[in-house]
Homo-oligomer: A and B are copies of this chain.
Amino acid sequence: MPDYVRARPHLSGLVPGDPLHVREVGDGNLNLVFIVRSDPAVPGVVLKQSLPWVRVFGEGWPLTIERARHEADAYAVYRAFAGATNPVYHGFDPVRYVIAMEDLAALRIWRTALDDGEVHAGAAAALGTFVARVAFHTSDLGLPAQERKRLVARTINPELCQITEDLVFTEPVRIHDHNRYSPELEGVVAELRADGAVVDELSRLKHRFMTHTEALIHGDLHSGSVMVGGGRTVAIDPEFACTGPVGFDLGAIWANAILAQARAVQLGRPAGFRAHVAAILPDSWLAFRDELLRLWPERVDDSFTDALLGDWKRTIWHDALGFAGAEMIRRLVGFAHVSDVDTLDTAAKVAATTAGLAIGRRLLLEHRTLADPAAVRELVETGLSEHR
């Protein structure tokens, strides 16, 4: 690894002085992540390398290393407008599939921070603003039509999208090897699988995800893909980036925020922290909406009228609630779980999962009619109080 860095002047300059200290910190499912520093206490550079399989599953689940190119491409696109919400991006090595990026030493994963009961006041709004900027600048509002179509073609991400399609929309309501949940939940999960209305909504949302190419969405914007600290919020790991419905990213934020709320209830966290977590959905939504409205006058095609903006905003709102329901369910009974719930003791885990499934189900079934954040808050609070 030191040789790799020293052979590349644009990286070497970021970590002057020898010897280099290298630490592998990847805790995701798909990649190796190296922190490279001259001084162990001073931020250096992060190198992220794709492995040709799903790490947590071993070599039995092969996975294209092309995902690194998609992640690099997303960083490069987002760089133009995302400001400090994008990590500083130092380039991509298309031979070894290595992304070089900022060493976010002072920041930690948002999910872990929430697990620990930490308040990071600006995170929700920063993410809402980020999603709005992505929605604007990578859609037909911000890019000339032909340029955008070329972006769509280049960023089509078949393998990673297939993972989302399978893991989020299909497998959680089937009997499948990938699914995991406590035996105590067998009854609840069986009920969910047998719920035709749930299966129908997942089918509809899957089709939306597969056919609505609104913007270059992040594609996996849960709290584990966000880093926070020192007043900064950074969205990382956009390897699932593809052109899709904007609501998918907001839905991922919201679903994971609600799961953090379920944890906070189970652990009896202070009211202040619980209110902080409950505010993630409204805060990110309002920031999203405000930023989209702020950018709207800059659209490159003024044949898009205010009526279209209103429609699209409503579509994104309702989509996001549906996608949030799907994301909650799959994080509770599907392949990829969340520490928010999985690190609870068994009784608390069962209670949080039952609450989460009930809320996820209602979000799925009611996503087209829930009018505003207040209605969602009531739905969430009802679900959390009925299963505590």
Are the CB atoms of A207 and B161 closer together than 8 Å?
no
The residues of B that contact A213 with a CB separation of less than 8 Å are: 211-213
- Contact A170 to B303, CB < 8 A, known contacts A145-B165, A204-B311: yes
Asked if A152 is an interface residue, CB under 8 A from chain B, the answer is: yes
When the two chains form the complex, which single residue of B146, B162, B196 contacts A145, counting CB atoms closer than 8 Å?
A: B162
Q: Which residue of B lies closest to A152 (CB)?
A: B156
- Docked pose: A159 CA to B147 CA in angstroms: 10
Q: Is the interface of A mostly helix, strand, loop or mixed?
A: helix
- Contact A308 to B162, CB < 8 A, known contacts A211-B212, A211-B213: no
The residues of B that contact A170 with a CB separation of less than 8 Å are: 303
Q: Which residue of B lies closest to A141 (CB)?
A: B207
Are the CB atoms of B200 and A308 closer together than 8 Å?
yes
Query: In the complex, what's the smallest C-beta–C-beta distance from A297 to chain B, in angstroms?
Result: 15
Contact flags A154-182 to B (C-beta < 8 A → 1, else 0): 10111101100100011000100000000
- Contact A312 to B207, CB < 8 A, known contacts A202-B303, A303-B202: yes
Max chain B Cβ within 10 angstroms of own Cβ: one of A156, A196, A311: A156
- Docked pose: A213 CA to B209 CA in angstroms: 11
Are the CB atoms of A149 and B158 closer together than 8 Å?
yes
Are the CB atoms of B140 and A158 closer together than 8 Å?
no
- Docked pose: A159 CA to B161 CA in angstroms: 27
Are the CB atoms of B140 and A207 closer together than 8 Å?
yes
Query: In the complex, what's the smallest C-beta–C-beta distance from A364 to chain B, in angstroms?
Result: 12
Report 18 cross-chain contacts, Cβ distance below 8 Å, ordered by A residue: A140-B207, A140-B211, A146-B162, A149-B158, A149-B161, A152-B152, A153-B153, A153-B156, A170-B303, A199-B303, A202-B303, A203-B307, A203-B308, A204-B307, A204-B311, A207-B304, A211-B214, A213-B213
